[in-house]
Structure 1
Amino acid sequence: MIKAPQIFLWHQAQGLPKDIFAGQTLAIIDSEQTQQQPYLQFNLGLHVGDSASQVQKRRIALLKALQPYGVTRLQWLNQTHSTTAYLVDDQIEATLLDGDGLVTQQKGVALMMMTADCLPIVVSNAQGTEIACLHAGWRGLANGIIEATLAKMQTQPVYAWIGAAISQANFEVGAEVKAAFVSQNSDFENDFIARQNGKYLADLYAIATKKLQALGITSVTGGDRCSYAETDSFYSYRRQAKTGRMATFIFISAQDDRLA
């Protein structure tokens, strides 16, 4: 876990090339401080009912914390649970684009995805010269947001890290969700645990890992935190519908040293 002095906390991605930095912001700066319920202290979502001016201040604080490492801008999307992904270059869009995946070869551009139970996934090629960031709820995962985002990459992705999302133990879904995945690949049958009420516990981490590996990614790390269960660290929409959003980010560093 890395702390940007007096600003916020995030946990750092592992298993990526040395020039790639990625992480996921946490919901709470200091559990002993007074919390601004339901948004706690570092909500980065503009669409959840929090004060827009306060959210913008937090986004600016995050940018400033990353600037010493060469980050020049944070690239956001209007996330729509889609399979739409974009290539990001040095041109700045006048309006916020709708979609759930970003790819770039530009140094210093931090690709951003907001979550509060959905899967945040970051990806890199072997050389650390091309990266991707995507948001995958169960619908996006089933419909192909991983495949659509990686298809935008011009090089073979090799490394992936999955940030905190809802774990299988806490993610109950209906039979239609299971059917959506098993109809694609019978191997996904093993990623659902039947419950007595006729519903299932779904392992989004395992499904995403299988999809990433099928696309040639040989190293998948992360996927070991639960946004629902870890109340002191993460926002969870399923735990509390009115809540904030974490941001998962990845960028190609313009500096020689990693954040410390």
Structure 2
Amino acid sequence: MIDLLRPVWPAPSHVKALITTRQGGSSAAPFHSLNLADHVGDDPVCVARNREQLARECRLPNSPFWLNQVHGCEVVSPESANPGCEADAVYSDRPDRVCAVLTADCLPLLITDRLGREVCAVHAGWRGLAAGVIENAIQRFQAPAKELLVWLGPAIGPAVFEVGDEVRDVFLGYRREAGQMFTANRPGHWLADIYALARMRLTDAGVGFITGGDYCTLTQDRLFFSYRRDGVTGRMAALIWRE
């Protein structure tokens, strides 16, 4: 049985949103057990079995629209792009289109509007976050930003996400107040709060409701894959669709 996380938010009931954990699949170590990525070296048979189990247990209306994520800011739609295209967010305003991103420390965001007419899944590592993937995703919506609901899924936590001066400088270039989201750790290195950095950009964009940001993929090893912790590892999936 797959172990899932779901947002607590005021979305209409016909909007379905979830994030998998690492529990409940078929993959062997170091991908144990619910690895959903086919690019990390796992047995393809196990990945296919895990994806079939995901579709069955979550009653997905269609196969997820998987991306080739490149830590950029491109947003695509299943109606105009091909599965496996290079992008880091997928948006749809049509029913039964399952938008999906894969993560293992980067921040997944799930977005819908209060009427549940549009949905989007976003993969935001620090590079994509700095490049504007969140802003690009919001711009795809017809609904105004104040009507959007955003859930921040599991990412690497602020107590362990160490980055160098060059990363902090990128965010300071966006807004000096971003410096408050970094804590000095050792010379030339900082602990970054990717949740706070995302909330700042969402707030600046006028988003009306933001929730989530309560987990740490690196320290909660029983629940989550973590690339920074393990190197060779699996990926969780963040999915959203409307019926």
TM-score range, shorter chain: over 0.9
Q: Distance in 1 between matches of 2:4 and 2:86?
A: 26
The Cα shift of 1:60 comes to 1.7
Runs (5+) with no aligned partner, structure 2:
none
Aligned mate of 1:43, from 35, 57, 60: 35
Q: Distance in 1 between matches of 2:206 and 2:77?
A: 20
Aligned mate of 1:17, from 1, 7, 11: 11
Q: Percent identity?
A: 32
* Matching residue of 1:174: 164
* Matching residue of 2:179: 189
The Cα shift of 1:16 comes to 4.0
* Matching residue of 1:135: 123
The Cα shift of 1:207 comes to 0.6
- Please tell me whether residue 80 in structure 1 is matched to residue 70 in structure 2: yes
Q: Distance in 2 between matches of 1:210 and 1:169?
A: 18
Tell me if structure 1 keeps the 8 A contact 2:73–2:133: yes
- Please tell me whether residue 97 in structure 1 is matched to residue 92 in structure 2: no
Equivalent position SS for 2:41:
coil
Q: Distance in 1 between matches of 2:173 and 2:220?
A: 32
Q: Distance in 1 between matches of 2:206 and 2:61?
A: 29
Aligned mate of 1:198, from 172, 175, 188: 188
Q: Distance in 1 between matches of 2:111 and 2:2?
A: 24
1:1-260, aligned counterparts within 5 Å?
A: 7-18=1-12, 19-29=14-24, 36-67=28-59, 71-89=61-79, 93=82, 95-157=83-145, 158-252=148-242, 254=243
The Cα shift of 1:35 comes to 7.7
Q: Distance in 2 between matches of 1:171 and 1:23?
A: 24
Q: Distance in 2 between matches of 1:82 and 1:58?
A: 27
Residues 183-235 of structure 1: per-residue CA shift (max 9 Å, x gap) = 11111010000123331000000010111111121111100100001011000
Q: Distance in 1 between matches of 2:84 and 2:31?
A: 23
Equivalent position SS for 2:99:
strand
Aligned length: 240
Q: Which amino acid letter does the alignment assign opposite residue 65 of structure 1? A: E
Q: Distance in 2 between matches of 1:83 and 1:74?
A: 20
Q: Distance in 1 between matches of 2:94 and 2:52?
A: 20
Which moved further from structure 2: 173-182 or 125-134? Answer: 125-134
Q: Distance in 2 between matches of 1:75 and 1:156?
A: 25
Q: Distance in 1 between matches of 2:151 and 2:23?
A: 22
Q: Distance in 2 between matches of 1:11 and 1:231?
A: 15
Q: Distance in 2 between matches of 1:113 and 1:35?
A: 19
- Give the root-mean-square deviation of aligned CA atoms: 1.7
Runs (5+) with no aligned partner, structure 1:
1-6, 255-260
Residues 164-187 of structure 1: per-residue CA shift (max 9 Å, x gap) = 000110100000000000111111
Q: Distance in 2 between matches of 1:229 and 1:177?
A: 22
